[in-house]
Structure 1
Amino acid sequence: MLDAKGNNIGEQAVNDYATGPKAEKDWKVLEDSHWILDGSPSAKRIVYTFTDPNCPYCRKFWKNARPWVDAGDVQIRHILVGILKADSLGKAGAIMNASNPEDVLRKFENNSLARTLQPLKNMPEHINTQLMKNHQIMMSVGARATPATFYHDSKGAVKMQMGLPPESLMSEILGPL
């Protein structure tokens, strides 16, 4: 939309909607997804990230975030999806179906389980349903790759970082260290 002088007034309206009402609605959807906690449940800063077990950039983000997570400053809520390889869904299911998914995810991302985690062959229905919902949520919030990370910026606006965040963005995403 253009005004009488040819200024684009529609772009600002779209940006305001995308970083305002739509972003807040997306945040609520992320809260209701089936996520695995990484970090202290009492950490005030919450970050959501879509994670595929076969994603090397997800693993790199996990490692890069350790100083913030280990300090207790941030909790990362991993929303597992299985989109990259044929066994991604089975591996995501194996992590989610574990008696302690947080521990299995940590060991997996630390490489102690990366080579030995067996994909679930017979996915329990409730785990399959959770993974399908996570995938639907991923599509509905506009994420098309992993990691896709959602966070509140310094002004409180919901932002998304698609792909591995560059080092220069880590403090914006995870807060000051």
Structure 2
Amino acid sequence: MRPRERIWQALAGGLLLLALAFWGIRPALAVPERTEAHPKLWEQLGQAHWIGQGHGPHILYMIFDPNCPYCHVLYDELEPMVQSAHLNLRFIVVGFLAPSSTGKAAAILQAKDPRAAIRENEKGFNMEHFGAIREVIPTPETDKILADNLKLLEESGRRIVPTLIYRDRQGKIQVIHGLLDKSGLQATLKQIR
């Protein structure tokens, strides 16, 4: 890499951190944190309001905020793996990272096709406005869903997105807070029962 490219890369990284700080977004954990959860959490997730993608036997929950850049990276990495890893990917949306997060989360939940709304949000994601979907005013029902989903995130142990939750091959409930690198994600997918 030439010196000029390194300077631009460092400048871009610094601007990203400033933008995240401005919006109050804490960076995902540098080293993702893995913990084991109580089986009760798995039962609660199954009863939660989730949006599904894929019909495979391997269930993976992803708790995300529409404005989370780390969730966006994880979404882009998971998207092509849903079929090949035989996933039943279940999105649980929360809205707390930025002032527009609640309205964008509501837009996803209240859409005629919530899965298509997630795709729209992620396809147009950028670091200026984060999630691309337009905000809407949440209905009382949507407010309750968002509050319940946030409570689930908190019960997972940390208020960090993205959060992945799955049952491993030994039947234990595993929680990962933070962004996995590609090899870590592939290794995790192989552990899902």
Tell me which interval the TM-score lies in, with the shorter structure as reference length: 0.7 to 0.9
Change (3 A) 1:143 1:90: same
Unaligned runs of 5+ in 2: 1-34
Q: Which residue of 1 aligns with 2:74?
A: 61
Matching residue within 47, 61, 82 for 2:95: 82
Matched, 1:107 2:120: yes
Q: Which residue of 2 aligns with 1:162?
A: 177
Q: Which residue of 1 aligns with 2:22?
A: none
Q: Which residue of 1 aligns with 2:135?
A: 119
Quote the RMSD (CA, aligned, Å). 2.2
> In 2, Cα distance between the equivalents of 1:164 and 1:132?
23
Q: Which sits farther off after the overlay, 164-173 or 110-119?
A: 110-119
Q: Which residue of 2 aligns with 1:149?
A: 164
Q: Classify the secondary structure of the residue corresponding to 2:91.
A: strand
Contact between 2:52 and 2:115, CA under 8 Å: does it hold in 1? Answer: yes
The AA in structure 1 aligned to 2:105 is A
Give the share of equivalent positions with the same residue, in percent.
29
> In 2, Cα distance between the equivalents of 1:76 and 1:107?
17
Contact between 2:122 and 2:132, CA under 8 Å: does it hold in 1? Answer: no
Q: TM-score, structure 1 length as denominator? A: 0.78
Query: Whose radius of gyration is greater, 1 or 2?
Result: 1
Count of aligned pairs between the two proteins: 154
> In 2, Cα distance between the equivalents of 1:78 and 1:37?
6
Shift of 1:152: 2.1
Q: TM-score, structure 2 length as denominator? A: 0.72
Matched, 1:137 2:179: no
Q: Which residue of 2 aligns with 1:32?
A: 47
Unaligned runs of 5+ in 1: 1-17
Contact between 1:150 and 1:161, CA under 8 Å: does it hold in 2? Answer: yes
